[in-house]
Amino acid sequence: VKKRIVTGDRPTGKLHLGHYTGSLKSRLLLQENSEYEQFVMIADMQALTDNFNQSYKIKSNIYEVVRDYLSIGLDPNKTTIFIQSQVKAISELTMYYLNLVSIAKLERNPTIKIELAQKKFNSSIPAGFLCYPINQAADITIFQGEVVPVGSDQLPMIEQTNEIVSRFNRIYNTNCLKKCTAYISPFPKLMGIDGQHKASKSLNNAIFLSDTEGDIKEKVKQMYTDPSHIHISSPGKVEGNVVFAYLEAFHPDKQEVEELKNQYRKGGLGDMTLKNILNKTLQELLCHFREKRAKVKDEEIASILEAGSHKANKIAEETMQQVRAAVGTNYFIS
């Protein structure tokens, strides 16, 4: 029996190279691994928890995200791609789980604490936002997910999910829910072109998978290097230099990257030359994505999502039948 992987993205905009190194590359590997069956969820209900008044953007964002998936090589025949809101049983399961987690516990969740500090809810935290880890536990467990790819900052989410699983199974004397383990991406977090923060759409410091040749060139040109490296002949710093971070992440020849680093440290390698090399690397990678992307039709996306959601619903319903039987709310089953 294959282990199920459950992962996904919030449809809040196009995906960028940070997503590519952080999660998409792993998904490509996992999709080819016969030990696993991969489910990629577009978490529109979760996106609404802090974007409830921008829901008009949500459909086009979903289409962009799927376009990104297909352009990098996610294969809907191998990976089930579906929309969270279309699996309505997730809401039902969330209702059962809401009784098993205290408000105090949610308020202590380290991931939520950090996110609350970043967002501008002030004292008006939407209940849906505070409760989203519970919703996330339902997302994972309804598909009997056993492996969940996450960043290390999201480990508290996995812990919360497993606590709910233990509690539910104990209270309702069942073993219908499975615990999951985190799969931490082997690739480091990608810096934004500003060198100050990780790549992020909202900080406007990311290179998108769908960027044009001109966009990419311009962003590479703006990339933060070593501000004290003014003369080509002077030694330059590699650490914190975004161009090197991107070369490490995307240049196909590790040996060549090492040589460039040595040369840069010694002096004699100009930023312009270096950026031209990176530009060439990124253009080669992204032009493949762009080509595939251009071929994806809206109808194809719709049918992938509909088929994926259909499959996801079938699995979710199987779990829910066990959940309702355990709680005792399956009244009309004799």
Interacting residue ranges for its own copies, rule: CB under 8 A? 44-45, 48-49, 52-53, 55-56, 58-59, 62, 83, 85-86, 88-89, 91-92, 94-96, 98-106, 121, 123-131, 134-135, 171-172, 302, 305-306, 309, 324, 327-329, 331-332
Question: Contacts from 293-300 at CB under 8 Å and sequence distance 24+?
Answer: 293/67, 293/68, 293/70, 293/71, 293/209, 293/210, 296/66, 296/67, 296/70, 296/71, 298/63, 300/70
Name the β-bridge partners of 80.
Answer: 39
Q: Quick one: 28 or 125, whose CB is closer to its own copies?
A: 125
Minimum Å distance from CB 190 to its own copies? 30
Minimum Å distance from CB 106 to its own copies? 6
Minimum Å distance from CB 122 to its own copies? 10
Minimum Å distance from CB 39 to its own copies? 18
Q: Quick one: 127 or 232, whose CB is closer to its own copies?
A: 127
The torsion angle over the Cα atoms of residues 308, 157, 59 and 25, rounded to 10 degrees, is -70
Minimum Å distance from CB 225 to its own copies? 42
C-alpha angle 21-72-20 in degrees, rounded to nearest 5: 15
Minimum Å distance from CB 126 to its own copies? 5
Q: Quick one: 57 or 293, whose CB is closer to its own copies?
A: 57
Which of 119, 186, 135 lies closest to 6 in space, CA to CA?
135
Phi, psi for residue 181 in degrees, rounded to 5: -120, 150
Phi, psi for residue 34 in degrees, rounded to 5: -75, -5
308: Cβ contacts below 8 Å, ≥ 6 apart: 76, 80, 81, 82, 83
Q: Quick one: 155 or 325, whose CB is closer to its own copies?
A: 325
Q: Quick one: 228 or 332, whose CB is closer to its own copies?
A: 332
Minimum Å distance from CB 102 to its own copies? 4
Minimum Å distance from CB 53 to its own copies? 5
Q: Quick one: 30 or 305, whose CB is closer to its own copies?
A: 305
Residue pair 181/149 in contact by the 8 Å Cβ criterion: no
Q: Quick one: 60 or 202, whose CB is closer to its own copies?
A: 60
**298 to 66, 172, 276, 287, 292: CA distances (angstroms):** 10, 44, 35, 20, 13
Phi, psi for residue 251 in degrees, rounded to 5: -70, 130
Continuous segment of H or E residues that includes residue 170: helix 155-171
Q: Quick one: 35 or 52, whose CB is closer to its own copies?
A: 52
